[in-house]
């Protein structure tokens, strides 16, 4: 169970939430976007208590892409991105000139202009994920929260998405918070890591600080595998022992 969390997300910062399976990463993100209430404490956005905001105010400040898929298969990619303006257009969905400019800017920023007229049901997992990110970006949020955004992507798709998120923090001055199991990619891309340890404590720092200090190894190593801080990757303990025996002989 998570405990004693005290963290700040800043504009222009890519933050990766890391930790063992089942430790509470998704719960933390769902709490940050008010999909479930905090058990204690408070969450502030630009100095305002998140719980005091209206749904419209929240929709204009926080962009969210969760693991579960939103059923939008009968819509074009363009229309899906336009849904990101709901907090501005209201129930009628009438888009003003500003709304259309925000939608176009999001589509171009994510590089999905060539997908705009295609039915979302006909897109690949990677293409669909990019469209959903464009939809959230069209909200023009201050904070962008993504839960396992690379879960359905192949290796090249994961690398491209991490590069995209890093670029968005720079070009849009967003605070981007990402929960992920892509440990090695996260360590090579993130500005800051929120690392949830097995005991529920959170350790904060740059990837370099958490690797060098041993926190990454402590969080993820098991009797069978360990994290090599020099190679920034996992090794099988049994294989390492066999290599040492061969070298010694």
The full set of domains in the chain, from first to last, is 1-46+147-249 (3.40.50.300), 62-141 (no CATH)
Residue 63: in which H helix or E strand, if any?
strand 62-65
Q: What are the structure tokens assigned to 148, written together?
A: 């396992």
Beta bridge partners of 48: 45
Q: Which SS3 state, helix, strand or coil, does residue 248 take?
A: helix
Q: What does DSSP say about strands 48-49 and 44-45: parallel, antiparallel, or unpaired?
A: antiparallel
Residues 6+ apart with CB under 8 A from 184: 232, 233
Has residue 121 got a pLDDT over 50? Answer: yes
What is the rounded CA–CA span in Å between residue 220 and residue 104? 42
pTM value is: 0.89
Q: Which one, of 119, 124, 137, 115, lies nearest residue 72 by Cα?
A: 119
**Polymer length in residues for the chain:** 249
Beta bridge partners of 179: 17, 147
Has residue 240 got a pLDDT over 60? Answer: no
The whole-number average pLDDT for the span 156-160 is 90
The reported pLDDT for the residue numbered 93 is 73
Q: Are the CB atoms for 111 and 130 separated by under 8 Å?
A: yes
Q: What are the structure tokens assigned to 147, written together?
A: 């839960």
Has residue 60 got a pLDDT over 90? Answer: yes
Has residue 116 got a pLDDT over 90? Answer: yes
């Amino acid at each position: 169970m998570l405990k004693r969390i005290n963290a700040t997300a800043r504009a222009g910062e890519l933050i990766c939430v890391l930790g063992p399976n089942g430790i509470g990463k998704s719960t933390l993100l769902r709490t940050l976007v008010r999909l479930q209430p905090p058990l204690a404490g408070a969450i502030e956005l630009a100095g305002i208590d998140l719980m005091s905001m209206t749904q419209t105010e929240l929709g204009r400040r926080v962009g969210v892409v969760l693991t579960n898929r939103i059923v939008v298969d009968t819509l074009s990619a363009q229309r899906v991105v336009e849904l990101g303006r709901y907090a501005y257009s209201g129930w009628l969905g009438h888009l003003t000139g500003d709304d259309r400019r925000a939608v176009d800017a999001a589509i171009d920023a994510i590089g999905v202009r060539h997908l705009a007229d295609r039915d979302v049901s006909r897109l690949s997992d990677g293409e669909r994920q990019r469209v959903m990110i464009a939809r959230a970006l069209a909200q023009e949020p201050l904070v962008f929260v993504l839960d396992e955004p690379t879960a359905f992507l192949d290796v090249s798709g994961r690398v491209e998405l991490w590069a995209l998120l890093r670029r968005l923090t720079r070009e849009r001055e967003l605070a981007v918070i990402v929960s992920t199991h892509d440990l090695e990619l996260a360590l090579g891309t993130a500005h800051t890591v929120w690392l949830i340890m097995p005991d529920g404590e959170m350790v904060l720092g740059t990837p370099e600080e958490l690797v060098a200090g041993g926190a990454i190894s402590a969080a993820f190593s098991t009797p069978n595998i360990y994290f090599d801080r020099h190679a920034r990757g996992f090794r099988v303990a049994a294989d390492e022992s066999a290599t040492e025996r061969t070298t010694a002989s």
